């Protein structure tokens, strides 16, 4: 069974760029990578999604190397409100449906 | 308008009881999910239904039984509750097609405490 691991926690200061990495060594060809953000007492919320190379949207960038065994979520210029737990998800809807969440990274943004 | 809603938000009950958690989505999605988040914040999928058909059934005790009366609803019934069932249960929905990348929308969660 694929294992998806992340650093347990990270601290950063306001205005800095934060990079959170997820390791998914057993990723399969049909799997894609999604990142979610979760605030206390709320459900996870979609941030960004990709399959390979680089994806950017209005809130984040996602970097996926050629071997796809890891991925990095990049949050530019974080603010206090970005303090949350960030999860990567390795999933597939081709053939066998599969959704495996990473262990989660607790990001604390300091003033 | 709440996209994915769950009831109740909190559920406190005694060991051995049977309880249900309800989930409804108004996004028109055809796939719904149940996840369990334990005290260490690990999120693990339990079940998924696509158009009322069970497509994911992870290794979950058979005391847990999902029921999907229609595409917009997925309920979770738990028999003979045990202390280890205490967790936050999240419902989610998405629009899934073969090979299509889907975004899941999560409900607010139901915190179940078994005493």
Looking at chain A from residue 60 to 99, which residues have their Cβ under 8 Å from any Cβ of chain B? 85, 87, 91, 93-94, 97-99
A98 within 8 A of A3, measured Cβ to Cβ: no
DSSP assignment of A59-74: S-EEEE-TT-SEEEEE
Identify the band that residue B97 occupies on the pLDDT scale cut at 50, 70 and 90.
low
For A33-73, what is each residue's pLDDT tens digit? 999 999 999 999 999 999 998 999 999 999 999 999 999 99
Task: Tell me how far CA of residue A58 lies from CA of A74, B7, B101, in angstroms.
Answer: 12, 33, 19
pLDDT at residue B101 in the model: 67
| φ/ψ (deg, to 5) at A76 | -80, 135
B5 within 8 A of B107, measured Cβ to Cβ: yes
Per-residue pLDDT at B100 exceeds 90: no
Q: Is B109 on the interface with A (CB under 8 A)?
A: yes
Identify the band that residue B58 occupies on the pLDDT scale cut at 50, 70 and 90.
confident
Per-residue pLDDT at A1 exceeds 60: no
Distance CA A94, CA A2 (A): 16
- Give the closest of B44, B99, B106 to A93, CB-based: B99
A99–B33 CB contact, under 8 Å: yes
* Average pLDDT score over residue span A72-98: 90
């Amino acid at each position: 069974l694929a294992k998806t691991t992340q650093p347990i926690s990270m601290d950063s200061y306001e205005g800095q760029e934060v990079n959170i990495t997820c390791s998914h060594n057993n990723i399969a060809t049909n799997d894609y990578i999604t990142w979610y953000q979760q605030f206390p007492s709320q459900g996870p919320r979609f941030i960004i999604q990709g399959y390979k190379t680089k994806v950017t949207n209005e809130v984040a960038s996602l970097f996926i190397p050629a071997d796809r065994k890891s991925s990095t979520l990049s949050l530019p210029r974080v603010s206090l409100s970005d303090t949350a737990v960030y999860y990567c998800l390795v999933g597939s809807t081709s053939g066998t449906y599969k959704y495996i969440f990473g262990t989660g990274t607790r990001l604390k943004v300091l003033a | 308008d709440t996209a994915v809603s769950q009831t109740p938000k909190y559920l406190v009950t005694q060991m051995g009881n049977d309880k249900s958690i309800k989930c409804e989505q108004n996004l028109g999605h055809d796939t719904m999910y149940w996840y369990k988040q334990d005290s260490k914040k690990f999120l693990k999928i339990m079940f998924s239904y696509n158009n009322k058909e069970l497509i994911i059934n992870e290794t979950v005790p058979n005391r847990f039984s999902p029921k999907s009366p229609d595409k917009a609803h997925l309920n979770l019934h738990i028999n003979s509750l045990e202390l280890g069932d205490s967790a936050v249960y999240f419902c989610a929905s998405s629009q899934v097609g073969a090979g299509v990348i889907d975004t899941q929308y999560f409900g607010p969660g139901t915190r179940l405490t078994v005493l």
